[in-house]
Structure 1
Amino acid sequence: MQDLATLGQRIRHFRNQSGLTLDQLGAEVSIAGSQLSLIENGRKEPRLSLLARIASALGTDVNALLDDSAPNPRAALEIELDRLQRSSVYASLGLPQVKPSRAISDETLAAIVGLNRELARREREAIATPEEARRANTELRQQMRALDNYLPDIEKLAEDTLRGVGHVSGALTHRSVSRIAEHLGFELVHVGDLPHSARSVTDLENGRIYLPPASIPGGHGLRSMALQAMAHRLLGHAEPESYADFLRQRLEINYFAAACLMPLTQSVEFLRAAKAERNIAVEDFRDAFGVTHEAAALRLTNLGTAHLDMQLHFLRVGGNGAVYKAYENDGLRLPVDVTGSTEGQLVCRQWSARKAFEHTNRTTEFYQYTDTPEGTFFDSTQTGTTSAEEFSITIGVPFAHSKWFRGRETTARAVSTCPDKNCCMLPSGSLASRWSGKAWSSAKLHAHILAPLPSGTFPGVDDRELYEFLEAHAAPSR
């Protein structure tokens, strides 16, 4: 059922058109007028049988009552005010809720709604600080850990979507992605002037999804971006109300895109066969579905526990050893700050994620066993390079599960005692004695650390740039 506030407004609209009072309509449908008032105010959900009686008494049908649009502009304002005043932002002010009675004019109501909109917008801006973003990201990572990084509802949605365009096996083609868009009423349009702050733009009015003009290095870039854009619609996302909401939506659209590019049934069959042969390898999984190494490694974390009965961890680490992304449900102790956030923290120099940078042959995966205070782990690491720096992608498991993976015969082994600073963070005593007080260095500052994100409807996206882009591309169709 759609939003109860909208349903209540539509019932009130049809009741007023019929010239009935609450008590009169209540008598016709065998319900007290006070109970009907709760329904009209969005405070009570009616049964479908009662809705049918109400529709009949008002000379309309149930579908008209269940329409998800406001019956008139005034009702739209009342519905929005109700939603805004129910938010935690408004509740934190300790102010009473404004009841939009008939005594309040449309102009006054519009002003109140406008003030509440601005309050919500400013709260979104304020919450998107680095500290709040890190906290929200940490909470989301902990939630996904509790779910073993597996979202069955999105898995089903992806399988149903692929079935709808007849995709049954092999790598998902650009043509199939275009057909998914067509089924949703969208056209994929490649342009060279996307807003600098946006990876893709969806024009809901004209049914277009704008994407970059050329494929992104890695093979699956454009397909993934198109699928992510469509996922917002398929998952019923609304404009994010907080930075945490924005991060959750981003995770869900990334998950959906991965589940389409590496479908559940095919992926599980592939990985179970590899496990039976004791030959699981991210590079094989990657090549079978035509995706990036990182995408394949992350997808393995989605399916590893739920379908392969193993715990595992994932790391994307920069050339300086800093964590970009991380996940674990196998007991590996990730480096974290006082807030519990791992992004930006340095991993141990003895871990495979950093040792791989010393590996001579970078075209193949680097395998290593690492003894830690939490146990011994087996890791498979692949390095790569962006225009900015080197990075490594690691998938790992506890020693007991290493028997299922390619590379388990490796003799490379390291010992890590981190977070003990004597492990790899402190210089040796002789070096400290030799150079302490005799050196000075200027740190390399990454420009993005201090650069403010554009603040708008969608965190990080400049509203003006976005709307000017849409206007420019919508004009020729008018």
Structure 2
Amino acid sequence: MPSTSIELSTLGHRIRHQRVSRGYTLDELGELVGVAGSQLSLIENGKREPKLSLLQAIAGATGVEVTDLLSNEPPNRRAALEIELERAQSSSVFHQLGIPAVRVTKGISDEAIEAILGLHRELQRREREAIATPEEARRANTELRLMMRERNNYRPDIEQLAEKQLKAAGHVSGALTHRSVSLMAEQLGFELLYVSDLPHSARSVTDIEHGRIYLPPASIPGGHGLRSMALQAMAHRLLGHERPTDYADFLQQRLEINYYAACCLMPEAASVAFLAQAKKDRNLAVEDFRDAFGVTHEAAGMRLTNLLTTHFGIPLHFLRVDGSGAISRVFENDDLPVPRDVTGSVEGQIVCRKWSARAAFSEQNRTTEHYQYTDTPAGTYWCSTQTGSTSDGEFSITVGVPFDDAKWFRGRESVTRAVSTCPDESCCRRPPAEVAARWQGKAWPSARVHMQMFSPLPRGAFPGVDDNEVYAFLDRHA
């Protein structure tokens, strides 16, 4: 039986629709089913919930099934508008305004209700924007990360889509060429154009009307290659993305386009075959995987998170850490004790100084991978870390596995070993007692303030993108 006000409203509209269709007045139908017309009026207006026996009587008198009356679908457009308006006027956002609700009568036209609903939709949109705080973003990102952890970071639907598109473009093996990417765009009805005046807030812009994808003339520092950016732009169309409804939707779309690009640059079938041979040789290595497909070290490391658990049963972790030790990108399904804040978010947290993700910064030779075993409260892990730098500073890329799975990887013979007891603060966060005693009260550092900590998330359907810039850019190139 219906119970919520909206469900009762829908039921009432369906009963009224059947009554009017049969030409009955309230009193006439009431006489047929044994209740007063005033009682039926309360039911039709969603003010009272009818008993099942009365519903059966109404269904019999109007020649329909009870299930027809209980359907959640409004019986007509007018009913749908009235139900949506009732829902909007019962929201907490509307109540906070202190404005009396509009009472719908027969004299109010459908167009008038549509106009009122338009205002309510804009009110809801602005409310969603207002709550897109940094904390809201962290929570949305954490939920997405945990969901992908449950899936072992594997999306078979996107894997299959990428294989289909690659086959259609004639790509068989080896690194995906820029020409193949252009062919994939042409098959979608798009031309790739490289311009030097892209809006500063956008990595690419797609002109859907004229079938153009605008890209920068050179790769963006930090590993965003032109092939990847073009594939990501195409992915929005292939995956049927609409304008994001909230920040969680925006993050979900970003994950999916990144995943699609990775699947195209490192196709599943070829990647699994490569990794299977490397595992057989006990010579799995991120750098070999990277070089075989002509991608960045970070891209190869992340692609391992998609494939190693699903195809080889190997749990693992991936970390991108900046020079200060803060995590900027993470995946783990091997129970590595990564630091978390009160929301469960990992990004921005500082990793232990003993982990190879930070220890590698002190290595003299930065051109090769750094291998290390680390004892943690959750067990011993083997890790491979490569460092790099961008205009924003240093970073490290780490891929690691539990001790028992190190046997499949190059670098397992490493004698470098560390012990981490984090999150125990005595591990690396608290200074030694004798040092603290010497300097307590005798030092006053001037803290570096990161201005982004005061900034709300950018407004707009695509966070961080300036619509004015984008539309002015499209006008210049139309």
Q: Same fold (TM over 0.5)?
A: yes
Deviation at 1:42, TM superposition (A): 5.2
Q: Is this contact kept in 2: 1:281–1:406, CA < 8 A?
A: yes
For each residue in 1:102-132, what CA deviation from the matched residue of structure 2 results, as whole angstroms up to 9, or x when unmatched?
8544652442243133223212322321111
Q: Is this contact kept in 2: 1:22–1:37, CA < 8 A?
A: no
Counterpart AA for 1:143: M
C-alpha distance 322-220 of structure 1, shift in aligned 2 (>3 A) = closer
Q: Following superposition of structure 1 onto structure 2, how do residues 298-317 of structure 1 map, counting pairs within 5 Å?
A: 298-317=302-321
List gaps (5 residues or longer) in structure 2. 1-19, 23-62
Asked if 1:366 is matched to 2:365, the reply is: no
Counterpart AA for 1:424: C
Deviation at 1:93, TM superposition (A): 4.7
Q: Is this contact kept in 1: 2:74–2:80, CA < 8 A?
A: no
| Higher Cα radius of gyration | 2
Asked if 1:379 is matched to 2:351, the reply is: no
Mapped to 1, the partners of 2:223 and 2:338 lie a distance apart of 30
Which of 326, 330, 345 is the matching residue for 1:341? 345
Asked if 1:269 is matched to 2:273, the reply is: yes
Mapped to 2, the partners of 1:374 and 1:273 lie a distance apart of 30
Q: Is this contact kept in 2: 1:381–1:394, CA < 8 A?
A: yes
Mean alpha-carbon deviation: is it higher for 89-98 or for 174-183? 89-98
Mean alpha-carbon deviation: is it higher for 252-261 or for 444-453? 444-453
C-alpha distance 241-277 of structure 1, shift in aligned 2 (>3 A) = same
Q: Following superposition of structure 1 onto structure 2, how do residues 78-477 of structure 1 map, counting pairs within 5 Å?
A: 91-93=91-93, 104-105=108-109, 107-217=111-221, 221-474=225-478
C-alpha distance 222-98 of structure 1, shift in aligned 2 (>3 A) = farther
C-alpha distance 348-82 of structure 1, shift in aligned 2 (>3 A) = farther
Q: Is this contact kept in 2: 1:219–1:290, CA < 8 A?
A: no
Q: Secondary structure at the match of 2:398?
A: strand
Mapped to 2, the partners of 1:100 and 1:228 lie a distance apart of 47
Counterpart AA for 1:285: F
TM-score (norm 1): 0.80
C-alpha distance 113-369 of structure 1, shift in aligned 2 (>3 A) = same
Q: Is this contact kept in 1: 2:339–2:350, CA < 8 A?
A: yes
Mapped to 2, the partners of 1:79 and 1:461 lie a distance apart of 35
C-alpha distance 94-289 of structure 1, shift in aligned 2 (>3 A) = same
Deviation at 1:35, TM superposition (A): 8.6
For each residue in 1:371-390, what CA deviation from the matched residue of structure 2 results, as whole angstroms up to 9, or x when unmatched?
01110000000000010110
Counterpart AA for 2:265: L
Q: Is this contact kept in 2: 1:220–1:291, CA < 8 A?
A: no
C-alpha distance 146-455 of structure 1, shift in aligned 2 (>3 A) = same
Aligned residues: CA RMSD:
3.1
C-alpha distance 232-42 of structure 1, shift in aligned 2 (>3 A) = farther
Q: Secondary structure at the match of 2:304?
A: helix
C-alpha distance 396-102 of structure 1, shift in aligned 2 (>3 A) = farther
Mapped to 2, the partners of 1:81 and 1:226 lie a distance apart of 44
Q: Secondary structure at the match of 2:206?
A: strand
Point out 4+ residue stretches in structure 1 off by more than 6 angstroms: 33-39, 77-87, 94-102
C-alpha distance 262-361 of structure 1, shift in aligned 2 (>3 A) = same
Q: Is this contact kept in 2: 1:128–1:459, CA < 8 A?
A: no
Identity %: 65
Q: Is this contact kept in 1: 2:317–2:331, CA < 8 A?
A: yes
Mapped to 1, the partners of 2:176 and 2:143 lie a distance apart of 32
Q: Is this contact kept in 2: 1:188–1:209, CA < 8 A?
A: yes
For each residue in 1:331-390, what CA deviation from the matched residue of structure 2 results, as whole angstroms up to 9, or x when unmatched?
111101111111111100000000000111100000000001110000000000010110
Counterpart AA for 2:277: A
Q: Is this contact kept in 2: 1:218–1:291, CA < 8 A?
A: no
List gaps (5 residues or longer) in structure 1. 1-20, 24-30, 45-74
Q: Secondary structure at the match of 1:383?
A: strand
C-alpha distance 207-372 of structure 1, shift in aligned 2 (>3 A) = same
C-alpha distance 277-79 of structure 1, shift in aligned 2 (>3 A) = farther
Q: Is this contact kept in 1: 2:382–2:400, CA < 8 A?
A: yes
Mapped to 2, the partners of 1:392 and 1:469 lie a distance apart of 36
Q: Following superposition of structure 1 onto structure 2, how do residues 18-29 of structure 1 map, counting pairs within 5 Å?
A: none
Deviation at 1:215, TM superposition (A): 2.8
Mapped to 1, the partners of 2:82 and 2:263 lie a distance apart of 37
C-alpha distance 83-463 of structure 1, shift in aligned 2 (>3 A) = farther
Mapped to 2, the partners of 1:229 and 1:298 lie a distance apart of 20
Mean alpha-carbon deviation: is it higher for 238-247 or for 90-99? 90-99
Deviation at 1:452, TM superposition (A): 4.4
Mapped to 2, the partners of 1:276 and 1:99 lie a distance apart of 73
Q: Is this contact kept in 2: 1:191–1:211, CA < 8 A?
A: yes
For each residue in 1:417-464, what CA deviation from the matched residue of structure 2 results, as whole angstroms up to 9, or x when unmatched?
000000000011111101111111111223333344431121111122
Mean alpha-carbon deviation: is it higher for 197-206 or for 392-401? 197-206
